[in-house]
Structure 1
Amino acid sequence: MNSNKNSSRGRQTGKKKPQNTFTRKFDSKKKFSKERTVSSKVSKKQVAGNTEVDGIRLNKYIANSGICSRREADVFIAAGSAAVNGKIVTEMGYKVKLTDEVRFDGSLISPEKKRYVLLNKPKNFITTMDDDRGRKTVMELVGNASKERIYPVGRLDRNTTGLLLFTNDGELAKKLTHPKHNIQKIYHASLDKKLTSKDLNSIAEGFVLDERKVIVDEISYILNQPKSEVGVKIHSGRNRIVRRIFEHFNYKVVKLDRVIFAGLTKKDLPRGHWRHLTEMEVNNLKML
């Protein structure tokens, strides 16, 4: 590990060999009493045309700059927020070349190289870009991970540890956080007392919380651990949902760790360290 390269609080873990995390079984020996295998095929890359000659659509150019998704860019373009070579462009499908000067709301923009950084978040860091109260933020941990400005995908609360993805890929970030895509997360919850089988079954069957139905994809005791150690597989992105589930049944979550996010695991990623995703992992995320 090159400590000079990563002088911020967070450190880069060793390079990771490419692997398809979607064909691996969940680590049932260490985590869950049930195991499932999820598979995904990675499509072949399509060969793009010569961007410099053909140009790229303005909405894609804006999305590639990390501002927003292509769909959102269309709305901004229609509203007159984009200008090419000093002229406002509202035409859908308008193409620009890399030599063109493109401005968004008056600011010069340019396509960024997409970055994907996975952090194993420690406790006592909040998920925000900055904090006016001076609290430690996750951005301090990935400060040297990328020269491009990256953003957290979703959030983990201050006392929750585990996997947190950062990227400047606005389209992918929106996909991974939108409820319709049912992106699954797996948590290891440590409770203040043993979870009764009755309550476990009630959670598994689904229940109403704040006038909305809560459904977990899977819940089970963790093998060879006290029954206060529970694994929860869920796709809901509601705020503090795992903690609120157990609070509803009068349990306090003492520790909460996200061990899997969208097929990505904590393997070879110590707490407080980060790594770049492999090309295969990025492709898998885009296939979800």
Structure 2
Amino acid sequence: MPKSRSAKAETPKQNAAKETRLNKYIANAGVCSRREADKLIVAGEIKVNGQVITELGYKVEPTDKVVFKGRKLSPEKPVYVLLNKPKDFITTTDDPENRRTVMELVKNACEERIYPVGRLDRNTTGLLLFTNDGELARKLAHPSHNVKKIYKVELDKSITKEDFAKIEQGLELEDGLAMVDGLAIVDNNKKTLGIEIHIGKNRIVRRIFEHLGYEVIKLDRVMYGPLDKLNLPRGKWRFLSDKEIAKLKRLN
């Protein structure tokens, strides 16, 4: 078994900073999380410079050739882009029907390949995160991490006290119980509400109100975890700050 570079006495100290743990290298390449990468390593699925590596903690250098299932992995610099999505764009990297996708809106953001984290449906506006950090993307998408999402909802008619209470208590939908984390009326005519939710089921906010006979006229995601739309116009994007990235990575 090849020795980890961390154990090689002849490795110069100045090269240590350039070394990356193999599981992190794999995760940065967008293959899977670090934990899942450890499983691939132990299973003998990863080759470094033509040799199968099964040692956890093995370190690689930028010049090493890392291969998984015949494909050379090329970890890119992590990039984090926040978009204020407009209507009429679908959240996918490619569409066979040639409809407009959110990728058009961030195509000039960076040279790295970035992908949307989760999705917003075609008529929903608001915050959408893009990254090439596969480990973080999987973390944010997994329901166990309870990533907070706040939406502004505009209905076709005023919500009743009874229906407001039903939503607060939780609604039984066709695919299970839909619980919200917060609900508030934000205008005098009771047609506009704020809803906080962490479950990620398909079209969940729209389905909650449709279940009670309301039509959602507008739906806008105004917060995603610690991120907000402050100074980010509709259709525009920006890079996350180091502070915002750190907050995302600290989410439980």
TM-score, scaled relative to structure 2 = 0.89
Range moving further from structure 2, 139-148 or 206-215: 206-215
Number of matched pairs: 239
**Paired position in structure 2 for 1:202:** 166
**Paired position in structure 1 for 2:83:** 119
Cα distance, 1:54 vs structure 2: 7.8
1:61 is aligned to 2:25: yes
Summarize the alignment of residues 72-91 of structure 1 with structure 2, pairs less than 5 Å apart: 72-91=36-55
Compared CA separation, residues 97 and 208, structure 1 to 2 (3 A): same
Partners of 1:63 and 1:170 within 8 A in 2: yes
Partners of 1:53 and 1:97 within 8 A in 2: no
AA aligned opposite 1:139: M
2:95 alignment partner, SS class: coil
**Paired position in structure 2 for 1:98:** 62
Q: Deviations over 1:38-67 (max 9, x none)?
A: xxxxxxxxxxx9664683321111112233
Structure-2 separation of matches of 1:54 and 1:126: 39
Partners of 1:186 and 1:260 within 8 A in 2: yes
TM-score, scaled relative to structure 1 = 0.79
Q: Which has the higher contact order (CA 8 A, sep 6+)?
A: 1
Compared CA separation, residues 210 and 50, structure 1 to 2 (3 A): farther
Partners of 1:57 and 1:93 within 8 A in 2: yes
User: Could you tell me the percent identity over the aligned residues?
Assistant: 59
**Paired position in structure 1 for 2:190:** 227
Give the gaps of 5 or more residues in structure 2.
Answer: 1-12
Structure-2 separation of matches of 1:126 and 1:51: 44
**Paired position in structure 1 for 2:8:** none
Cα distance, 1:149 vs structure 2: 0.5
AA aligned opposite 1:280: K
Give the gaps of 5 or more residues in structure 1.
Answer: 1-48
Structure-1 separation of matches of 2:151 and 2:129: 15
Q: Deviations over 1:210-235 (max 9, x none)?
A: 25221101111114x42111110111
Compared CA separation, residues 51 and 256, structure 1 to 2 (3 A): farther
Range moving further from structure 2, 181-190 or 57-66: 57-66
**Paired position in structure 2 for 1:24:** none
CA-atom RMSD, angstroms? 1.7
Runs of 4 or more consecutive aligned structure 1 residues displaced over 6 Å after TM superposition: none
Partners of 1:52 and 1:98 within 8 A in 2: no
